[in-house]
Amino acid sequence: MTGRLMVDATAVRKSFGPVEVLSGVDLAVAEGSVACLIGPSGSGKSTFLRCINHLEPIDGGAIVVDGALVGHRVNGDHLVELREHHVARNRMNIGMVFQRFNLFAHMTALENVMCAPVTVRGTRRRDARARAGELLERVGLSDRSGHYPAQLSGGQQQRVAIARALAMDPKLMLFDEPTSALDPELVGEVLAVMRDLATSGMTMVVVTHEIAFAREIATTISFMDRGVIVEHGTPAEVLDRTGNARTRGFLDAVL
């Protein structure tokens, strides 16, 4: 891979009790590219995504984002886990959008988008409000800024969640199956926002079951199964010309 790396994961391992969920994952994501992770449920995709911003501490290997180790520092030949406030500081440059929207129910759309810049970065409320308005307009919700989450559709809530993540001006955006909780008729509006982000040059790692969407926006696609990346390449290489039986079996089942 050429160009500057935004994500460089090497031999990442993660277990929950006796169950090893990630069994040595390697993934390099170039700045400005879109990396899509596909695969069956339970293959480790979402766990790996959560490891990138240290929501799940890893048990082995290393993850570097924008040139800095995530969640660790080097001490001689060992990696030492950072204290939570240092991890939180590193995490500010990584936006994440979850399957569920996780909006604050007692806050309006505008207030949800303003919250992190004000509380985490110390941005002046006037400036945060102006920026939040711009972001809601970008995701097509300027007319819903005063609405509470309960007054919004699922697709609208997810678009607010995307605007909220963008409010911290992240260098990297992580999407964990952002359309899986949506009714089918609402999926397109969220994918349209993600498509716009990809076109603008935002570096993105996307866990998705929307294969057609992955084909359209991805720079690379990685097929994961049983805690490892089985196949990695361009959309055409993985989706059209795969010679891997596990990849082909998955695609035949979902397409």
What's the pLDDT score for residue 78?
75
pLDDT of residue 196: 96
Q: Which residue has the higher pLDDT, 47 or 3?
A: 47
Query: Whose CA is closest to 235, among 253, 255, 252, 221?
Result: 221
The pLDDT assigned to 90 comes to 75
* 221 closest CA partner among 199, 238, 209: 238
How does residue 51 score in pLDDT terms, banded at 50, 70 and 90? very high
User: Which of 82 and 110 is assigned the larger pLDDT?
Assistant: 110
CA–CA dist 213, 250 (Å, integer)? 16
β-strand pairing of 19-30 with 68-69: unpaired
Give the mean model confidence (pLDDT) for residues 91-112: 93
Say if residues 162 and 97 touch (Cβ distance below 8 Å): yes
Residue 82 has pLDDT above 90, yes or no: no
Residue of 73, 113, 64 lying closest to 93 (CA atoms): 64
Find the DSSP H helices in 117-204. 125-138, 154-166, 184-200
Backbone angles phi, psi at 49, to 5 degrees: -60, -45
Segment 223-247 mean pLDDT: 96
Average pLDDT over residues 239-249: 95
Residue 107: pLDDT band by 50, 70, 90 thresholds? very high
Q: Which residues contact 217 (CB under 8 A, 6 or more apart)?
A: 34, 36, 194, 195, 198, 206
User: Which of 164, 54, 162 lies closest to 116 in space, CA to CA?
Assistant: 164
Only one residue has tokens 């790692």, namely 205
Q: Reply yes or no on whether the pLDDT at 1 is more than 70.
A: no
DSSP symbols for 197-227:
HHHHT-EEEEE-S-HHHHHHH-SEEEEEETT
| pLDDT band per the 50, 70, 90 thresholds, residue 244 | very high
- Phi first, then psi, for residue 116 (nearest 5°) are -65, -45
Question: Percent of the chain scored above 70 by pLDDT?
Answer: 99
pLDDT, average across residues 236-242 = 96
pLDDT at 2: 53
Q: What is the pLDDT of residues 173-211, one digit of tens each?
A: 999 999 998 999 999 999 999 999 999 999 999 999 999
Where is pLDDT greater, at 166 or 99?
Answer: 166
Q: What is the 3-state secondary structure of 96-128?
A: EECCCCCCCCCCCHHHHHHHHHHHHHCCCHHHH
**What is the arithmetic mean of pLDDT over 78-106?**
84
Q: What is the pLDDT of residue 143?
A: 96
Average pLDDT over residues 84-100: 84
The pLDDT score that the predictor gives to residue 114 is: 97
